[in-house]
Amino acid sequence: MLGNSVRNPTSVTRQILLPQSVLQSSAVPVMSAASLVHLARCRGPRTGCRGLLRHAASPPFAAFQAAQLQSAASRRPLHTSGQRPSNTRFDPDSSGSPTTWDSFGIWDNRIDAPILLPSSIRYGKIIPKVSLSKVGTASLIGQRKENEDRFQLSQMTNNIIYFAVFDGHGGPEAADFCDKYMEKYIKDLVVQENNLELVLTRAFLEVDKALQKHLHHSPSASGANAGSTATVALLRDGIELVVASVGDSRAMLCRKGKALKLTDDHHPDRKDEKERIKQSGGFVTWNSLGQPNVNGRLAMTRSIGDFDLKNMGVIAQPETRRIKLHHVHDAFLALTTDGINFSMNSQEICDVINQCHNPKEAAYRISDQSLQYGSEDNSTIIVVPFGAWGKQKGSDASFSISRSFVSSGRWA
């Protein structure tokens, strides 16, 4: 079960294997548990990718590789002409040389990720540790008078990392409340529930109710109609990624150099969202810029807050998605607010980040580039590097000039 730890890894001697379909489609290595334990004894629990490569010749692992190579050699005919396809993942080009660490997923030695040994043993593949110190973040005010964006990242529990962006509107009160309390609600719920999608759904709804009570008892009425987007990602055991979102902030995964959207914007022109608004007694109009709005006011159909529109179909229940990471293919996760999303599409963001040396440079470059493209809104981004960081060598991207230079906004 996800989240359980290996209590006595030194007693594990059975080889952990992946399904044959995975072996044929991925270069992820299959190491015996004994090999990983031997590695732990030699280098400790924070062994990095270079440390693993240096100790790849250790007796258990070397014997395992030798057996693979000997087995492959015994199946080859004595007389051959030309190069034959490889019969083993440890001899990819039939040269007799074992694979390098690059084939295992960590391509870029600019980020030397330590190995999560308990998770690697549990899942039968090498899983790099995501270090918060390597994560890139940036938040620019743009042309607004105030930055109403908020973002958070933390090691929430021993095996769960928390990432979140909140984009406030109608004042910063709702975004501030989410920034302060969302992690606490999630942390309390994970003790009771193992399903992270259920945890995030309940947390969003409970934070929404708590914000309503807070604003009701607030001496100031300035934040009575405040609201916020919320896009939250939880990474458990370095491999299970769960995302929940309301509004139009986004989460995107770069896999094999392509942008994989993990969230869908909750806009009033989305068919299912528009139908709920109408059935609840609300209506959708378009402003002079062609932007749809709920009751002529709000440019989203789901949010934390906006309590004056809750009886018109605006809800706080998030859409969630769970995905298993493949560190040999997955380069990074990016969380962005609409100041970036309105001026750059997901693939453009992916391409620009792939050109950058590290996630910190990538975050600042994306936020700054959105301003260069004409965004007037606050621009916030979190870039989380995974195992394939640097694998897709970026080239100078040629973006379409026919982009929208209309400033984004929540209000008509």
pLDDT digits (tens, 9 = 90+) for 123-159: 888 899 999 999 999 999 888 888 899 999 999 999 9
pLDDT score for 44: 52
Q: Is the pLDDT of residue 20 over 90?
A: no
Residue 239 sits in the same domain as residue 351:
yes
Q: Is the pLDDT of residue 114 over 80?
A: yes
Highest mean pLDDT of the ranges 44-48, 86-90, 362-366: 362-366
- pTM attached to this predicted model: 0.75
pLDDT score for 288: 83
pLDDT score for 386: 95
The whole-number average pLDDT for the span 15-28 is 40
Total of domains in the chain: 2
Q: Is the pLDDT of residue 25 over 80?
A: no
pLDDT score for 95: 47
Asked whether residue 221 is domain-assigned, the answer is yes
Residue 41 sits in the same domain as residue 106:
yes
pLDDT score for 248: 95
pLDDT score for 361: 96
Residue 368 is part of a domain; what is its CATH number?
3.60.40.10
Least confident of 56-60, 196-200, 239-243, 258-262: 56-60
Asked whether residue 392 is domain-assigned, the answer is no
Residue 206 sits in the same domain as residue 309:
yes
pLDDT score for 233: 98
The whole-number average pLDDT for the span 56-81 is 45
**Domain ranges, residue 142:** 132-385
Q: Which residues contact 273 (CB under 8 A, 6 or more apart)?
A: 266, 267, 301, 302
pLDDT digits (tens, 9 = 90+) for 194-244: 999 999 999 999 999 999 999 887 766 566 789 999 999 999 999 999 999
Residue 245 sits in the same domain as residue 365:
yes
Q: Is the pLDDT of residue 262 over 70?
A: yes
The overall average pLDDT reported for the chain is 78
Residue 254 sits in the same domain as residue 333:
yes
Asked whether residue 58 is domain-assigned, the answer is yes
Measure the CA–CA gap between 81 and 190, rounded to whole angstroms: 59
Residue 188 sits in the same domain as residue 272:
yes
pLDDT score for 348: 94
Least confident of 23-27, 42-46, 294-298, 363-367: 23-27
State the SS3 of the chain: CCCCCCCCHHHCCCECCCCHHHHHHCCCCCCEHHHHHHHHHHHCCCCEHHHHHHCCCCHHHHHHHHHHHHHHHHCCCCCCCCCCCCCCCCCCCCCCCCCCHHHHCCCCCCCCCEECHHHHHHHCCCCECCCHHHCEEEEECCCCCCCCEEEEEEECCCCEEEEEEEEEECCCHHHHHHHHHHHHHHHHHHCCCCCHHHHHHHHHHHHHHHHHHHHHCCCCCCCCCCEECEEEEEEECCCEEEEEEECCCEEEEEECCEEEECCCCCCCCCHHHHHHHHHCCCCEEECCCCCEEECCCECCCECEECHHHHHHCCECCCEEEEEECCCCCEEEEEEECHHHHCCCCHHHHHHHHHCCCCHHHHHHHHHHHHHHCCCCCCEEEEEEECCCCCCCCCCCCCCCCCCCCCCCCCEC
Q: Which residues contact 204 (CB under 8 A, 6 or more apart)?
A: 182, 230, 232, 244, 246, 304, 316, 317, 318
Domain boundary among 90, 123, 156: 123
Residue 14 sits in the same domain as residue 96:
yes
pLDDT digits (tens, 9 = 90+) for 382-401: 999 999 998 876 545 444 44
Residue 109 sits in the same domain as residue 174:
no
Asked whether residue 215 is domain-assigned, the answer is yes
- Which has more confidence, 411 or 327? 327
Domain boundary among 73, 100, 123: 123
pLDDT score for 216: 83
Residue 314 sits in the same domain as residue 287:
yes
Q: Is the pLDDT of residue 360 over 50?
A: yes
The whole-number average pLDDT for the span 58-64 is 45
Measure the CA–CA gap between 96 and 248, rounded to whole angstroms: 52
Domain boundary among 96, 123, 150: 123
The whole-number average pLDDT for the span 243-250 is 97
pLDDT score for 304: 98
pLDDT score for 240: 97
Asked whether residue 259 is domain-assigned, the answer is yes
Asked whether residue 406 is domain-assigned, the answer is no
Residue 137 sits in the same domain as residue 119:
no
Residue 282 sits in the same domain as residue 335:
yes
What is the CA 20 to chain-centroid distance, rounded?
A: 27
Q: Which residues contact 390 (CB under 8 A, 6 or more apart)?
A: 107, 108, 110, 111, 331
Q: Is the pLDDT of residue 341 over 80?
A: yes
Residue 74 sits in the same domain as residue 150:
no
Asked whether residue 301 is domain-assigned, the answer is yes
What is the CA 154 to chain-centroid distance, rounded?
A: 14
Asked whether residue 412 is domain-assigned, the answer is no
pLDDT score for 220: 62
